[in-house]
Structure 1
């Protein structure tokens, strides 16, 4: 996805929050903020790709502060929130075991995103309201059709905490007799899920686990490992969670491979790009 005008202020807000999490050195924060502004001045222009700029900013913060995981403590908080609401979500799924309902539950997990929403957001209050909302764009029927003919599915994970709800959906996918591979980040960035967090919630019990080979926000084609690219190429169907993956996949040549994005449109640029209202939930087929 190309940047929208609001993305500039969002990049600065994210950078400030990441800096406050990464270091207490005020002088260092000023120096890194100057570098962040230089990145924006040189790269933020019409036609620039949103998740590529965001990735460079967050890598710069990690490199300059020496803190390779500024969001470490929030990872634990996300897990706590997810586990707190898991029994309530499971009760909802007991009443309606349709694929659509499991997709909505997975999208509810997508709300566990301090990077997009900010550190002061009422994350807990948003989870249940999200799972109860209908889909503004609903391509779940088309996804069901593709699942019936697919043999293997590549599932692009997004945030820590969120993967607790992804596990529920992946179990549902097995009813279609497909093999599922989940792709995680190799190194921490924002509160994106890595291999450790996936193992902590037992995601390896329901899927084969791999990494993208990098720490990019979402997927960036030239950044991905050859192993991941092979898995992507050989998959029959791709299911991608979250904003970063939506932003990145839109810039890749997907060919005729069916790719579905599951997300909550947590910011106005994403909502505008998709054609929905902010905070709408979507199951969107990209091609």
Structure 2
């Protein structure tokens, strides 16, 4: 997805938020990070994606702040909090008339747990309130055609907390006999999930789980590991979770993919012609 100038403003807001989390009592470092990020943004191409920009900015921010994972505590708490909800949500999925639709809906609601966009949403309320899955009608029919026993499927994961709800979807897929791989980020960025988070929520006990090679939010294909790229290219199904993966791969993927996420920012919502905060399940290609 081609970025907008609004995306630069959003990234600067992310940087300031991160600085205040990492060093709340050091306004000089807050100012330095904003200044250095603004200078770096001025050198980046509008033909790239926001995840491309972020992989230039965040390591610079970590260096300035002296902290390589400012969201570590927030990520642990998100995983812990969502894991408490998983048993009850799992029972709802099992009791539903269509476990795949319900598990996908739950997984997409989990994408609300994101510290990148300026607005935070109430994922717990959404689990109770957002039960209409008609938004996924077309794409879920295409997915059903591909979900044959033995089909190779890759899920590109996104955030902590969200990954706990993704375990419910992973179990539904494994029960269908799907050969499933779940990929996480390879280095800290925002509240995105790493291997340690996958292990905490037990994703590694459900399916093959691996780091993507990416150090930014979203899967940038020229950055992924050779092993993951091989899986990506050969999979029968690729499901891209989260807005970061949408920004990285929409209109840039070299193969058919599914996108499952919340359109949390105005730029993405405008791109898709939907209301901000809408659940999206899209098949492209």
Deviations 1:170-207 (A, max 9, x none): 11112331110111111111111000110111111111
Find the counterpart in structure 2 of residue 272 from structure 1: 270
2: CA distance, partners of 1:22 / 1:135: 41
Shift of 1:88: 4.0
Q: Deviations over 1:188-233 (max 9, x none)?
A: 1111100011011111111101111131110112222212211212
Q: Deviations over 1:252-280 (max 9, x none)?
A: 3423xx31111011111111222322111
Please say which of residues 23-32 and 197-206 is displaced more in the overlay: 23-32
Offset, 1:145? 0.8
Q: Is the 8 A contact 1:240 1:246 kept in 2?
A: yes
How much has 1:92 moved relative to structure 2? 2.8
Unaligned runs of 5+ in 1: none
Given the superposition, is the C-alpha separation of residues 262 and 248 from structure 1 closer, same or farther in structure 2, using an over 3 Å criterion?
same
Point out the more displaced range, 144-153 or 99-108.
Answer: 144-153
Measured after TM superposition, the shift of residue 131 of structure 1 is 4.1
- Give the equivalent residue in structure 2 for 1:41: 42
Post-superposition Cα deviations, 1:135-160, rounded to whole Å, max 9, x if no partner, equal 53431111111112762111111001
- Please, what TM-score do these two structures have when normalized by structure 1? 0.90
Contact 2:101 2:133 (8 Å CA) reproduced? no
The 1-side partners of 2:129 and 2:150 are apart by 29
Q: TM-score, normalised by structure 2?
A: 0.91
What's the counterpart of residue 127 of structure 2? 128
Q: What is the CA deviation profile of residues 68-127 of structure 1, one whole-angstrom value per residue up to 9, with x for unaligned ones?
A: 101111102211331243244234323315111111011111111122245xx3535554
Is residue 113–residue 121 contact of structure 2 (8 Å, CA) maintained in 1? no
1:224-248 Cα offsets, whole Å, 9 max, x none, are 2212211212212101100111111
2:109 paired residue number = 108
**1:212 matched residue in structure 2:** 212
Counterpart in 2 of 1:25? 26
Query: How far did residue 7 of structure 1 move?
Result: 1.6
Residue 276 to residue 150, structure 1, CA distance change in 2 (3 Å): farther
Could you tell me how far apart the structure 2 residues matched to 1:192 and 1:262 are?
A: 16
